[in-house]
Structure 1
Amino acid sequence: MHYSMLTTFTWFFIKALHMYLWLIRQNVTITNYMRKITVFGWTFPAPIIKAVVSLGGYKAVIINATPRMCWITDLLIHYIVNIGYYALVFIFTTGIFIMIVTNILQARHIKAADGKRKTFRKQLMMVLSLFLLFGLTWAVAFFSYGPMLIPSYYIFTVLNSFQGLFLFLYYYHIQNDVAGYFSDDPENSSSTITILENYLKLA
């Protein structure tokens, strides 16, 4: 279970990196791109899990008297491995989120003369989809202590219940998007504005 959680954080990082290469950098050639990110996404958390096991960090935790689960009982390990790891991912994904939204707003400003501005509702849905795809809703975990412990559980559950739905909608519509966004061939590479315009269709 802990491995799955850390893997989820790692894939949030990879998703943000992918969007950065697609929408911001462009003209980047990465050989065996899918293979590399897949290996990285599924193997990077493994050494962390092994380190926690070697430190004896996993112990049986009793929940509501009878149910038991294996989890980290040492708060120091928890804050370093879980909160600390996600904090790094959160900083990176938040930075990419701000960069992408800024570029999208600039692209929309350029197209304002054509009178093709989307409604506020569609803009909000587009930003919300990015917010969920990057896993920024997991930031609620920063407040899961003291009087905010129980409310944070409810907020976290409600916000993240839409994660799978938005992933499905994103990958369903992305099939109609532009191709060749990891090519260093100028003839096969679209401009930032063109890519952003196509990305806005996902909203």
Structure 2
Amino acid sequence: MALALHYFLLATLCWMALEGFHLYLLIFKVFNIYISRYLLKVSVIGWGVPAVIVSIVVSKNEKYYGCSKLANRSMCFITNSTVQLVTTLGPFALLFIFNTVMFSMTVRYLITNPHHKEQFGQMKKNRMQETVMLMALMTLLGIGWVFIFFSIGPQATPALYIFSTVNSLQGFFIFLYFVLTLRKIKDPETTTGNTTNS
């Protein structure tokens, strides 16, 4: 159970990093982004990298997985604190840095790009809609996971409540993001003249 929990946690983090990479392709490499067998390659990375990390931990010592005592409670996870920090917080820190950079680049591009500047002026009317889209994008990239860094020390309980609340809404925000994106594509006011959206 501990091994499966570790594997799926790492797979979740890996897929969020891949979503950041996918966002980069969609925004910055708009043309000529065809990659042969893209889904297969992404799947190998998304499911394979966590499997390699878990395999390395098991090959070193299979007793790293089991029940460990945390704050007078037993938890089925990684028993060695060093291995836990390196194999969970290490990949998460890399994911967080990468996806924060992708999020910042996306927001900067949408604000500074001349094509989007006039749309951004219109977007000020729809601040609530754009705020929801940005929050959905943040959860899509896993930026809400930053609250786990504050789960140490006296602020642990509020940080864990915020972490659990934000991440339990991740699917809902992703749903809102795609609904609002689809609505923008179908909105007749955004299309002018003979231009077509792809």
Structure 2 counterpart of 1:111: 119
Aligned residue for 1:44, secondary structure, equals helix
Q: Could you tell me how far 1:118 is from its partner in structure 2? A: 3.6
Q: Could you tell me how far 1:173 is from its partner in structure 2? A: 5.8
Distance, in Å, in 1 between the alignment partners of 2:119 and 2:142 is 30
Return the letter of the residue paired with 2:169.
F
Tell me the percent identity.
34
Residue 49 (str. 1) matches residue 69 (str. 2): no
Residue 165 (str. 1) matches residue 172 (str. 2): yes
Q: TM-score, normalised by structure 2?
A: 0.79
Change (3 A) 1:124 1:173: closer
Q: Could you tell me how far 1:74 is from its partner in structure 2? A: 1.4
Aligned residue for 2:35, secondary structure, equals coil
* Mean Cα deviation higher: 101-110 or 149-158: 101-110
Aligned residue for 2:149, secondary structure, equals helix
Question: How many residue pairs are counted as aligned between the two chains?
Answer: 179
Match of 1:35 among 18, 35, 40: 40
Distance, in Å, in 2 between the alignment partners of 1:123 and 1:175 is 13
* Preserved CA contact (<8 Å) 2:7 2:54: yes
Match of 2:91 among 85, 89, 97: 85
- Residue ranges of structure 2 left out of the alignment (5+ in a row): 186-194
Structure 2 counterpart of 1:10: 14
Residue 60 (str. 1) matches residue 67 (str. 2): yes
Distance, in Å, in 1 between the alignment partners of 2:130 and 2:179 is 19
Aligned residue for 2:91, secondary structure, equals helix
1:115-194 matches, cutoff 5 A:
115=122, 117-171=124-178
RMSD of aligned Cα (Å): 2.7
Return the letter of the residue paired with 2:13.
F
Change (3 A) 1:19 1:116: closer
Return the letter of the residue paired with 1:111.
Q
Q: Could you tell me how far 1:111 is from its partner in structure 2? A: 3.5
Aligned residue for 1:71, secondary structure, equals strand
